[in-house]
Structure 1
């Protein structure tokens, strides 16, 4: 399977809430390549900026280090993966946006099933049985996410560019940590549909801010994730699991325009069927991921080690 096709599979995962692009990258065997290259790319970019403000021998030294990191990026893999992802996102967005507009209940049901099964990933990566205080912490994180996703969306307002950039910075974590869905994060803050519309309408202003936020987020999150996993491994994943669980409120199929929860309607049986379908899809992906892990073991601590490796 070529890097272009692998990138397309990751891109398709990125636009479906509940399916982690990081998980797909792991399954198709390019996860470590992406993480290593991202780490070197971030270091090269930071070094390049630092080189602009330094002088003399110090500037030359900083630039040399940045160039060294740039050479370590696997461009032959990263570029086709990126092209494949971009192509898949553009094509997939045109198919998903009409689905959300015409069948919102069914779409939320399918996405809820995807998320339910995905909860297994961060919960499993905690390592061993949860301690009582971790259960309490996870429940607190879930409660916080539940109440945050209950906040009604702003009426008749386009999201500000600041909000778009910040959301993109957090959503990009889906490429870094398997089990986390960037699209789901956008969905819970009400930016999923506007982002799909921006892709389909070729809104370059919105997309430019989104990409900039994602780049900044990748640079910050790579370092932040490394520190959290090294110093607070279990707590980080416990909180992540709780946040994902609580955010499921955003995917309750029957809602009003202000995100108020409604009782199930007459279509309860097909809706439940879609939830089960979404669960089955992710369960299949997790089985494939398990086989990939047996061949090439990668866990959360290994991510931190990888990011720290030269």
Structure 2
């Protein structure tokens, strides 16, 4: 359900929540198990074997939680994003900040390679958050590639797949295809997502198994770099028009809370923002404590 809530917020990755909750490795393993061979198993009637091989109970429960959360929390989160964005972003800022510490603690050995991976991850994520959007042509090949890239971003902590589509200039195209039920374009995008998900999840699983410290350091760096995107107090520099003809922020710059009201004319609500940051920290620490009790 927490992953579903994160997916509703543009710029926040469900992969971040998977990492925080300790299910990241299991999620990658389950996705990696969904190979073409399993499809052949299904065609041969080997349903129970297939279900067990892909950790079906886990994937089904996770998907049910995500869909339940999107259906129940989408209106609340959309309302907060429209009316009190600094509050919802404060909560996610605290969430990611404490995650940096917790995931960093899992790195068993620090050396020049892990530090380098941390820096590279942080710089990479930061550059994505400040990148100027491109305008890829909406051809089938570009839609396929965009789907593969976006789905890879969705399972990486700190990087939002919808934000990647926005940077590629195809967010409105894909959203419009879903709205208009354009099956040909949706099918091409879905195939790209499947190809990217199956290949990238295997790569990540292999890296976590054979170079865990360096991989964890890189993923921690992604979280550090993404803090720029989820900083609650921002000034809009430029706007874009979405598929519904409404103006939405395109490029933004961060402000200190004391400057926010002077620049934007809106109240900063920094006290409530700080409370929500602390609440997010407490929530994550509580989840970690409960997780350890269950595992013991």
Q: Same fold (TM over 0.5)?
A: yes
Name the residue aligned to 2:151. 169
Q: 1:246: how far off?
A: 1.6
3-state SS of paired residue (1:166): helix
Q: Which has the higher strand share?
A: 2
Name the residue aligned to 1:292. 291
Name the residue aligned to 2:245. none
Name the residue aligned to 1:261. 253
Q: What does 1:1-310 align with in structure 2 at a 5 Å threshold?
A: 8-16=1-9, 17=12, 20-23=16-19, 26=22, 37-40=30-33, 42-43=34-35, 45-48=36-39, 68-70=49-51, 72-73=53-54, 75=56, 78-128=59-109, 130-153=110-133, 161-162=143-144, 164-173=146-155, 180=157, 184=160, 186-187=162-163, 190=166, 212-252=191-231, 253-257=234-238, 258-261=250-253, 263=255, 264-266=259-261, 270-271=269-270, 273-296=272-295
Q: Deviations for 1:192-249, whole angstroms, at most 9, x for unmatched residues?
A: x969977995867587666555443432233212210122211111111112212222
CA distance in 1, matches of 2:108, 2:284: 20
Q: 1:34: how far off?
A: 5.5
CA 1:24–1:91 in structure 2 vs 1: closer, same or farther (change >3 Å)?
farther
CA distance in 1, matches of 2:143, 2:274: 33
Give me the TM-score of the superposition, normalised by structure 2. 0.66
Q: Residue 122 of structure 2 contacts residue 223 of structure 2 at CA under 8 Å; is this kept in 1?
A: yes
Name the residue aligned to 1:177. none
Q: Residue 97 of structure 1 contacts residue 197 of structure 1 at CA under 8 Å; is this kept in 2?
A: no
Q: Deviations for 1:73-120, whole angstroms, at most 9, x for unmatched residues?
A: 554564354334223223433333343344444444443232222222
3-state SS of paired residue (2:235): coil
Query: Structure 2: any 5+ residue segments left out of the alignment?
Result: 239-249
RMSD: 4.5
Q: Residue 18 of structure 1 contacts residue 111 of structure 1 at CA under 8 Å; is this kept in 2?
A: no
The structure, 1 or 2, with the larger RCO (C-alpha pairs under 8 Å, 6+ apart) is 1
Q: Residue 93 of structure 1 contacts residue 196 of structure 1 at CA under 8 Å; is this kept in 2?
A: no
Give me the TM-score of the superposition, normalised by structure 1. 0.64
CA distance in 1, matches of 2:180, 2:73: 14
Q: 1:181: how far off?
A: 5.2
Q: 1:168: how far off?
A: 3.8
Provide the aligned length of Structure 1 versus Structure 2.
Answer: 268
Query: Structure 1: any 5+ residue segments left out of the alignment?
Result: 1-7, 53-62, 175-179, 298-310
